[in-house]
């Protein structure tokens, strides 16, 4: 299926990305897919293509582009090796939500000019740390983001000043949040805090807890759960079908 590389000019340099589209003639509605803390790697390129095959132009950005070229993380090694996990955590800490919001603005400008993309309305989806980025994008660009999904997203409702739940009043998108069971990155306190924030802001939202571990939707994670992953694909298909219908 079609895939092409993109170079997106940003305030901090050039963000590498790939654009995934279905077979056949477009254009299609666009979705931005934010990867997990492991960053862009073959698993996410395959996931972006699977989403594209549902009828979308999916842009997968390298949210770590500021760090320069690097080898993709082996997620099995990250889960079992403390040093590898620390390297990934250190890299993740260098990318703030403000940076991602700035990058999203640049991505939206590029999407508006691509011949593969239909219209200005877009969706966002994210995994692990990408879940918070997907919600942040929705809050920062309510005039463009009409649907936002987070799957086993972490730290969505913390005491940090950039916590996504604090900006719920800015969200105009339809929101879907799927949390993992017993997830220290998004515990019961955070779940309740986010639910209250979205409800108080009048955001059209759905929050569900999947009986699976953190990382359940991403095939190269040791905690990948096929049943939960298929459920996430169905939920995402329904979300975008309701908000980003194909022309």
Residue 164 has pLDDT above 60, yes or no: yes
Task: Name the percent of the chain lying above pLDDT 90.
Answer: 85
Residue 247 has pLDDT above 70, yes or no: no
Q: What beta strand segments (E) does 11-151 contain? A: 13-20, 28-34, 57-61, 117-127, 145-151
Residue 51 has pLDDT above 90, yes or no: yes
Q: Which domains does the chain show, CATH number per domain?
A: 3-243 (3.40.50.1820)
Pair 20, 49: CB distance under 8 Å: yes
In angstroms, rounded to a whole number, what is the distance separating the alpha carbons of residues 129 and 67?
Answer: 17
Residues 175-234: tens digit of each pLDDT: 999 999 989 999 999 999 999 999 999 999 999 999 999 999 999 999 999 999 999 999
In angstroms, rounded to a whole number, what is the distance separating the alpha carbons of residues 235 and 8?
Answer: 29
pLDDT band (50, 70, 90) for residue 55: very high
């Amino acid at each position: 299926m079609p895939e092409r590389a993109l170079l997106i000019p940003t305030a901090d340099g050039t963000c590498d990305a790939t654009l995934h589209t279905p077979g056949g003639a477009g254009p299609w509605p666009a979705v931005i897919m934010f990867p997990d803390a492991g960053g862009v790697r073959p698993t996410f390129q395959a996931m972006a293509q699977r989403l594209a095959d549902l009828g979308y132009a999916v842009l997968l950005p390298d949210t770590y582009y500021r760090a320069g070229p690097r080898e993709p993380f082996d997620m099995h090694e990250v889960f079992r090796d403390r040093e590898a996990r620390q390297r990934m955590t250190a890299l993740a800490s260098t990318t703030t939500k403000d940076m991602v919001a700035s990058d999203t603005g640049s991505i939206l400008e590029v999407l508006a000019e691509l011949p593969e993309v239909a219209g200005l309305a877009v969706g966002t989806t994210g995994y692990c740390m990408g879940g918070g980025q997907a919600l942040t994008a929705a809050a920062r660009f309510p005039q463009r983001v009409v649907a936002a999904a987070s799957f086993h997203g972490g730290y969505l409702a913390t005491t940090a000043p950039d916590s996504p739940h604090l900006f719920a009043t800015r969200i105009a998108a339809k929101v879907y949040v799927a949390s993992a069971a017993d997830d220290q990155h998004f515990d019961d306190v955070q779940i309740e805090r986010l639910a209250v924030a979205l409800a108080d802001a009048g955001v059209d939202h759905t929050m569900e807890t999947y009986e699976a571990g953190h990382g359940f939707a991403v095939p190269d994670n040791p905690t990948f759960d096929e049943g939960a992953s298929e459920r996430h694909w169905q939920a995402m298909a329904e979300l975008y079908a309701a908000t980003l219908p194909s022309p």
